[in-house]
Amino acid sequence: MVIESLKTYQLNALLEVPKIQTNLLWDLTFVFSALGILYFFFIFYYKRRIRLKSELIARRKKDVAPMISTFLFHETEDSKEEKRNYVELKIAIRELLKDARNKEVIAEVLLDLQKDVSGDARKRVYRLYKELELHLEAIKKLDSWRWEIVSKGILELTQMKVTSSYGFIKKFINDKRGIIRKQAQISAVTLTHEGINFFLDTTRYKISEWQQLKLLEVLQNLEGFIPPSFKVWLTSNNRDVVLFSLRLIKHYHQIDAGIAMIPLVKHKNDQVKAEAIFCLKEFRVKEAKETLKDIFSNCKTDIKIMILDFLAVLGEKKDLFFLENIEKRETNFIVKNKIHSVLNVIQPGTIVPTSEIDKDLDKTQERKTQIKPIPTNTLVMEEDNPLPPKENIDSFGKEQHNSLDNILDADNEDEEIFNLCFKEELEDILNELEEESEFTAILPLDFLPVVTENNEFLVEDKAPTIEEKELDVDLGNSLNDEFQEVEFQLQLEDLLDGLKKEDIDDVDIKNIDVVEASFLPLVTNDEIEQTPVQIDSDKISINEIEVFHEPVDYEEDYFEMYRELLKVEWMPVEESSLPSLDKSIDWNGITQSLAPVETQPTITNNTETMTANVKTKPLNSLPEKEKTMNCFSIFAEMFRDSDKESKLILLDEILAVGEEKELEFLNIVKTDKEKSVRIKAEKIYTQLAKSLENKANEKQDVLSHKKRSGVEVISGNPIVKEGQNDAKNVGKLSLDEQEKALENYLDIEFDLSLETQEQKDGKQHKLKEPTEKEPVKKEVEISEKAGFLNSIKKITLKFFNTSA
């Protein structure tokens, strides 16, 4: 390797510098020096020549200028001396014009002059130019093969307004050389009014934007120019001619071309399309509207915007449908915004701002509107009784509600509500119950708040005697609560069913409203038989859930009882529960049983009125306000702030835990904006209706089975012991017996046991008093289950709503 590399170096070393002859070098030096000198010589020569020429021209211009001035301003009225000078100058100029250079000089002078002067002086220049036949020289230039000379000739002829040269110039309109072509186009248009027609008819080449502007400027400066109807060229094969014609139509406001422009909105070229739409908008061509609507979807954004601009100007209300349709389909943000603005232009207020709007304000308004349906009984109570301080309502009701809304999530809301609100309270209550074993007849449901307080107020308002109170409690409450107790029983059964299935079962809040009074002191046989306890009237409070029995005057008591009955505001009850209710209470029997006892006519009348009211007043004919209560559903509130997916999930939940009131709510949901929600609501409605029907059938089967086996009936109705509470038999008894019968009748017992349905089926149903600790314990166990929690939640929410 090393040897090879050395060889290489050796070879390089053998290279020698070529020998150049010195003489040759010197020769080359002389040659290039001579060329340099020659180059500079020519430069100086031509520079001097040009300078001399310009000096000569300037000198000649100086000489010619006064001559031209004399020629320009010569008048026939001049003096003889001036006329003689004019003739001499004329002869001199003729001599000068024999020389081509002089012609050039004079032409240049005249061209310069026509730039600096105006008015009559300029016209004289034009005239002189033609008189001196300088235009012939310019026309000769048009035959030159050199483009710059041809261009110069065209320019000269155009500037000096040589109209006779139009025929020579127009043939350059379609010249291959761009500069000559453009100059010829401007020249043709400038020289004659027909030039523009010829140009638009014959031009085959593209017309640049700049050229169009120049031509437009020329046309503007043409004196006495009457523009032709440019719509003729809208059908040209040259796209630029069409475009230029559109611009000319727009410039000269040729409204008659409006209809001819309509087909151009379908032109392939967007520039032509845009220009046509703009013209149509400017000329208010309504006929183009439908065509524009047709092409809208296939257009680009710019064209769409232009079409929308057109519709903003010429749109009518009948176009709103089209705009709304395209608004739904359009994905481009700009176009969509434009559609909104057009909609609002055509019909102000169609689109209102939605983004960055404070939704809390809307929610507040919604809440305000939702507060309207307040239960009738509550309203009556509120009217009769003083409300608790507002501050308490606000602080407890609203804030608590809001906090719940904030905290709750869909999965654990039952537990959370319970933990937040009731766990401690329930524990306290249960502890108290354990300690106070003497209050065994009281259900552990007295934490339900509203009705007890109201009743208390009622008692206080009337300021009754102790006797009245007792009767009030005994008769008034029991009669008043007949219906409510039935509902309570129903609810209890539902609760038990729910627990049995270990499912979250909604308790009918409406029914609970009815029940609210039903867990007040329950009058049992034992209690009635007990010796009445004398109590200080001041200490009487229904909140304390105690029952006091005292002997009373029947007349007054019955009067009070009737009065209370007449005041009854029947709670809205679901239709499904109506038949059983009607069957369970024999209103005729009550009237008849009371009739022999009552001697005073007013009381008798009242009794009749009451029974008639109760009988004839169908519960489904409740006022609208009450009806709205019927469709109250906890899902309604959730639905309000939910999106589409949440709604669908909630619908599933309705199917799982829904009751009959949810059916009504589902009816409302069927009209939801979202199609999928509507469809699902219908499905859920059908399924829920079926499941509820099945449940009802099961209940009826159980009841019929029990009836057949001679067991006391518990069907959600007051339990009337056979032979004891038979109201029909009351009238046939003696006064004492009647009294007893009435007491027995009013002594409606409830099955408060928490046995399951299976247990019920297996055992004979006896009225079980909640004095035993077993049910209480059971309740504690059960209360931790979801169904019970859910019930509590409902009650709480109902309470909040009522308070609010």
Partner 1 sequence: MIKRYLLLAEDDELLGALLSYRLEKAGFVVELARNGREVKEYLEQNKPDVIVSDIMMPYFSGIELIDYVRHHLGLHTPMIIISSAGNEDNVLSAFELGADDFIPKPISPAELIARIERVLCNV
Name the residues that contact partner 1, by CB under 8 A. 61-62, 65-66, 68-70, 72-73, 109, 112-113, 115-122
Q: 749 in helix, strand or coil?
A: strand
Q: How far is the CB of 72 from partner 1 (least distance, A)?
A: 7
- Which residues are CB-contacts of 628 (< 8 A; sequence separation ≥ 6)? 372, 373
Q: Where are the alpha helices (DSSP H) in 578-674?
A: 578-584, 587-594, 601-616, 624-630, 634-640, 644-657, 660-669
Residue closer to partner 1, measured from CB, 71 or 233 = 71
What is the spatial distance between Cα 290 and Cα 288, in angstroms, rounded to a whole number?
A: 6
Single-letter residue type at 98: K
Nearer to partner 1, 156 or 240 (CB): 156
Rounded to whole angstroms, the Cα distance separating 412 from 569 reads 37
Nearer to partner 1, 121 or 733 (CB): 121
Residue placing its CB nearer to partner 1 in the complex, 108 or 527: 108
Q: Quickly tell me which residue has 């038979």 as its tokens.
A: 726
Q: How far apart are CA 478 and CA 476, in angstroms?
A: 5
Residue 445 near residue 717, CB atoms below 8 Å: no
Q: State in angstroms the smallest separation of the CB of 92 from partner 1.
A: 16
Structure tokens belonging to residue 654: 């309705």
**Which residue lies nearer to partner 1 by CB, 105 or 523?**
105
- Residue 115 Cβ vs partner 1, minimum distance, rounded to whole Å: 6
Report in angstroms how near the CB of residue 119 gets to partner 1 at its nearest.
4
The Cβ-side half-sphere exposure at 9, using a 13 Å CA radius, reads 6
Compare residues 76 and 709 and give the one whose CB is closer to partner 1. Answer: 76
CB 242, min distance to partner 1, A: 35
In the bound state with partner 1, the residue whose beta carbon lies nearer, of 117 and 804, is 117
Nearer to partner 1, 74 or 281 (CB): 74
Residue 731 near residue 465 (C-beta atoms within 8 A): no
Compute the distance between CA of residue 340 and CA of residue 353 in angstroms, rounded to an integer.
10
The nearest distance, CB 157 to partner 1, in angstroms, is: 20
Cα distance between residue 683 and residue 694, in whole Å: 17
Distance CA 55, CA 62 (A): 10
Q: How far is the CB of 155 from partner 1 (least distance, A)?
A: 18
Contact 598, 611 (CB under 8 A): no
Tokens of 358: 């404070």
Q: 719 - beta bridge partners?
A: 749
The tokens 């139009």 sit on which residue? 166
| Residue placing its CB nearer to partner 1 in the complex, 36 or 66 | 66
Nearer to partner 1, 26 or 73 (CB): 73
Distance CA 551, CA 466 (A): 10
Give alpha helix (H) positions in 476-622.
478-500, 509-515, 525-529, 554-566, 578-584, 587-594, 601-616
Closest contact distance (angstroms) between CB of 51 and partner 1 is 18
Which residue number, 67 or 458, has a Cβ lying nearer to partner 1? 67
Residue 308 and residue 299 in contact, taking contact as beta carbons nearer than 8 Å: no
Whose CA is closest to 718, among 491, 455, 481? 481
To partner 1, the closest distance from the beta carbon of 186 in angstroms equals 20
How does DSSP classify residue 387?
P
